[in-house]
């Protein structure tokens, strides 16, 4: 059984400050070790749950965050980044795990809430549903027939997951957001046990989980923070339309193509 893990960083236990997420700071040097340990706990759980092959994507920022020497040698790692969010993911995979994720832009009392870019993006909608990164990634995987089987992070991203993907999807809450940079957290050592056990159960139950795939045609509406965000998008007036000063609409029948065009 093949499992794909996408690991962001905002949802790691103990992380709540921008310094912890930025390369080059002493806080980041510590935080990336916690991230690496949570990734390893997830890998361990996935193999215990029945996985035979695991690919892990280093998904935060430039995709260069794991302490590679410490990563479980049983997996393959994807680092760096480009338009394709999950290289190698296809219908042969039984599930996608979104590890250390965060709530969508505009969520109150959520640690480091944003959608893709905190500078640029204000609101992202697919067929009228507001989506954060959990939803966007679930739709990308869903287009390939792969379900999101587990999400970890704070209480808000867990609630967002249940609301969008339903109760079957496993969530693993490692901290509670009190404000954007104010946290009540499990210590990293405790969070690892929670993640390992949740991943094991999620992989074991992956057969029961359904891919997230809204019906075509697809319409993505992206609202930028500034008009300059929308200025950068080339519009043909048919498939890509400037709907307002800060809003672009992307249309099409191929879900993966429409999402990729909008990112
Ligand atoms: Zn991130």
Q: Encode pLDDT of 181-234 as tens digits.
A: 999 999 999 999 999 999 999 999 999 999 999 999 999 999 999 999 999 999
- Around ion ligand 1, residues with a beta carbon closer than 5 Å are 8-10, 60
User: 213 C-alpha to center of ligand 1: Å?
Assistant: 24
> What pLDDT is stored for residue 251 in this prediction?
97
User: 233 C-alpha to center of ligand 1: Å?
Assistant: 23
User: 119 C-alpha to center of ligand 1: Å?
Assistant: 13
Q: Encode pLDDT of 92-109 as tens digits.
A: 999 999 999 999 999 999
Note the CATH architecture for domain 2-118+132-208: 3-Layer(aba) Sandwich (3.40)
Q: Encode pLDDT of 22-33 as tens digits.
A: 999 999 999 999
> What pLDDT is stored for residue 81 in this prediction?
83
| DSSP collapsed to 3 states, the chain | CEEEEEECCCCCCCCCCHHHHCCCCHHHHHHHHHHHHHHHHHHHHHHHCCCCEEEEEECCCCCCCCCHHHCCCCCEEECCCCCCCCCCCCCCEEEEEEEEECCCCCCCCCCCCCCCCCCCEEEEEECCEECCHHHHHHHHHHHCCCCEEEEEEEHHHHHHHHHHHCCCCEEEEEEEEEECCEEEECCHHHHHHHHHHHHHHHHHCHHHCCCCCCCCCEEEEEEECCHHHHHCCCCCCCCEEEEECCEEEEEECCHHHHHHHHC
What residue spans define the domains of the chain?
Answer: 2-118+132-208, 218-262
pLDDT at residue 128 greater than cutoff 90: yes
Task: Summarize the confidence of residues 4-17 as an average pLDDT.
Answer: 98
User: 51 C-alpha to center of ligand 1: Å?
Assistant: 26
User: 9 C-alpha to center of ligand 1: Å?
Assistant: 5
User: 237 C-alpha to center of ligand 1: Å?
Assistant: 32
């Amino acid at each position: 059984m093949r499992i794909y893990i996408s690991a962001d960083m905002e949802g790691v236990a103990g992380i709540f400050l921008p310094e912890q997420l930025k390369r080059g700071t002493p806080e980041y040097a510590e935080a990336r070790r916690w991230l690496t340990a949570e990734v390893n706990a997830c890998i361990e759980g996935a193999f215990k749950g029945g996985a035979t092959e695991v690919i892990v994507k280093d998904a935060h920022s430039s995709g260069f965050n794991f302490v590679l020497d410490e990563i479980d040698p049983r997996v393959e790692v994807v680092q760096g980044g480009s338009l394709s969010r999950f290289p190698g993911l296809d219908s042969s995979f039984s599930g996608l795990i979104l590890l250390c994720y965060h709530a969508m832009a505009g969520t109150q009392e959520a640690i480091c809430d944003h959608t893709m870019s905190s500078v640029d993006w204000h609101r992202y909608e697919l067929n009228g549903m507001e989506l954060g990164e959990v939803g966007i990634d679930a739709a990308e995987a869903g287009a390939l027939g792969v379900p999101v089987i587990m999400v970890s992070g704070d209480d808000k991203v867990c609630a967002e997951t249940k609301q969008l993907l339903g109760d079957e999807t496993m969530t693993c809450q490692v901290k509670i957001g009190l404000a954007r940079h104010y946290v009540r957290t499990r210590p990293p050592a405790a969070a690892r046990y929670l993640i390992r056990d949740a991943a094991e159960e999620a992989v074991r139950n992956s057969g029961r989980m359904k891919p997230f795939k809204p019906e075509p045609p697809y319409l993505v509406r992206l609202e930028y923070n500034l008009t300059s965000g929308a200025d950068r998008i080339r519009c043909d007036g048919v498939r890509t339309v400037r709907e307002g000063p800060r809003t672009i609409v992307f249309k099409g029948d191929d879900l993966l193509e429409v999402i990729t065009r909008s990112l």
